[in-house]
Amino acid sequence: MSRRRTAAAGAVVAVALLAVAHPRPAVAAPDAATSVTCPAAPLPITAAQQDRSWSIAATQLAALSGPASLPFGATGSSAYLRTSAYAWTAGFYPASLWLMYEHTSDPAWLRLAAEYTQHVLPVASWHGTHDLGFMVGLPATLGARLDPSSQRTTAYASALRTAARSLSTRWNGRVHALRSSYYGGKWGVIIDSAMNAPMLIEVGQREGGIDGQRLVRRGTQHMVTLANSFVRADGSTRHRLAFNPRTGAVTGPIYGQGLSTASTWSRGQAWAINGFAQAFALTGDSRLLDAARRTADYWTSHVPAGCIPAWDLDVTDSAAPHDSSAAAITSDGLLTLARIETDAARSMTYRAYALATLGTLASSPWTVEDGRGVLQRQSYNVPADAREGTYSWGDAFLLHALAAAATLQP
Ligand code: GLY
């Protein structure tokens, strides 16, 4: 595994892998500065690698079951932490359990998935967070699709309706957005919200009627506000912005988990790509396709296919912590985008890129037999703690991307 910024041998292979017509380069431009780690020869994920990843996931996820609390993750060599159902990460472990059940059809996974989803359903009526898409939306949507119990699927559908209404209470008609939080007292929105707003669209579309249409409108407009205010001209994203809630005007950036307010936090870019792709899949709105393409193209032109970036796309220090979770979230988003992309050449490029990156993520040292959790070398909040770790969101999006990859035609 070589540690190189650009012109890695792997990038050359990636060019061959991605040799389809595309209006933007799929590998790093010569002056790109993002620090990345690339395999010697990036190749699309193989069936054997997929089997190995699912088998490691089965061992690790089973080992985390037992207590009623929800697995969070471990930073460095510290203890593996667990949380109540009210942490922003609470939905990721139940989501991984549903994906295990979908992959294996084993009733033991169904029992666990239903049990852990049950823990998070009461959170749906909580108005104290904007992260209800992660916490309730993700596991309840998977449960509604996969659980054979009609009693439980009714409960999941009801929780989704409640969660969408709870999130909708944060709507501000001047900003045209759902408030993420008050950051230092400022009315603020975070790019991560791109992953929560699609729940409003999905629930609203299912419900229909005046109430349902309002949910769809709010979810869609929130995504359009992100596209207009957070996506820079070059396709990179801001992390947090403060708005004036009376006029709707942007009042300035707010520092979050990235290198600076002018940089591009890797996981923020990944949330944007994935969220815009989901929102376009739901709405067919060309403004969201444009945002998905621009954010995806920024990523692929800074991180060669098969490579794993540092925690911020403006980091140039090759010793800096990586964020493999950002690569997993991006791969998952690119597979969604590839499925719905209206341009066939772009679709092939995004798909090839995602499969090459999954080929790396499914290998050591990113996925290892003797680790804790499934996906290693993720970063949570580097400015607060620079150690890499293993976290439940990286696990869930790796499995989600593996499940999507398995549905592709050869
Ligand atoms: N939503 C917090 C994070 O991605 O770290």
Residue type, 160: L
pLDDT, position 324 = 98
The minimum-distance atom of ligand 1 relative to the CA of 381 is: 5
pLDDT recorded at residue 2: 36
Q: Give me the chain's average pLDDT, please.
A: 93
For a mutational test of ligand 1's pocket, the pick from 193, 267, 273, 395, i.e. the residue with the most ligand atoms closer than 8 A to its C-beta, is 267
Q: Quick one: pLDDT at residue 410?
A: 72
Those residues whose C-beta lies under 8 Å from the C-beta of residue 241, and which sit 6 or more positions away, are: 188, 189, 229, 230, 250, 252, 253, 254
Q: Where are the alpha helices (DSSP H) in 255-391?
A: 266-283, 286-300, 324-340, 344-361
Beta strands in 86-204 (DSSP E): 171-172, 177-178, 181-183, 186-190
What class, spelled out in words, does domain 2-63+170-406 have in CATH? Answer: mainly alpha
Domain-by-domain residue ranges, the chain? Answer: 2-63+170-406
Task: Tell me how far the alpha carbon of residue 410 lies from the centroid of ligand 1, in angstroms.
Answer: 34
What is the atom index within ligand 1 of the atom nearest the CA of 88? 1
CB 327 within 8 Å of CB 311: no
The string of pLDDT tens digits covering residues 20-55 is 333 333 334 434 579 999 999 999 999 999 999 999
d(CA 260, ligand 1 centre) in Å? 16
- pLDDT at site 8: 36
Q: Which atom of ligand 1 is nearest to the CA of 257?
A: 5
What are the tens digits of pLDDT across the range 353-385? 999 999 999 999 999 999 999 999 999 999 999
Ligand 1 center–CA 342 separation, angstroms: 30
pLDDT digits (tens, 9 = 90+) for 266-303: 999 999 999 999 999 999 999 999 999 999 999 999 99
Cβ-count burial of 407 within 10 angstroms (0-12 exposed, 13-18 middle, 19+ buried)? exposed
State residue 33's pLDDT score. 79
Which ligand 1 atom sits closest to the C-alpha of 268?
4
* Confidence at residue 16, expressed as pLDDT on a 0 to 100 scale: 35
**And the tokens for 134?**
């992660």
The whole-number average pLDDT for the span 65-89 is 97
Across the beta sheet with 36-38, what order do the strands follow?
2-3, 36-38, 308-309
pLDDT per position as a tens digit, 141-166 = 999 999 999 999 999 999 999 999 99
Residue nearest to atom 1 of ligand 1 (CA): 192
- Expressed in angstroms and rounded, the spacing between residue 12 Cα and the centre of ligand 1 is 32
Query: Which of 237, 254, 257 for mutating ligand 1's site (highest number of atoms within 8 Å of CB)?
Result: 257
Beta sheet of 70-75, edge-to-edge order: 81-83, 70-75, 389-391
Q: What is the mean pLDDT of residues 75-102?
A: 98
Report pLDDT for 110. Answer: 98
Question: Ligand 1 — pocket residues by CB below 6 A?
Answer: 88, 192, 257, 267
Element containing residue 71 per DSSP (H, E): strand 70-75
For the question of whether the overall pTM of this predicted structure is more than 0.75, the answer is yes
Burial of residue 274 (number of CB atoms within 10 Å: 0-12, 13-18, 19+):
buried
Indicate which residue's Cα is closest to atom 2 of ligand 1.
Answer: 192
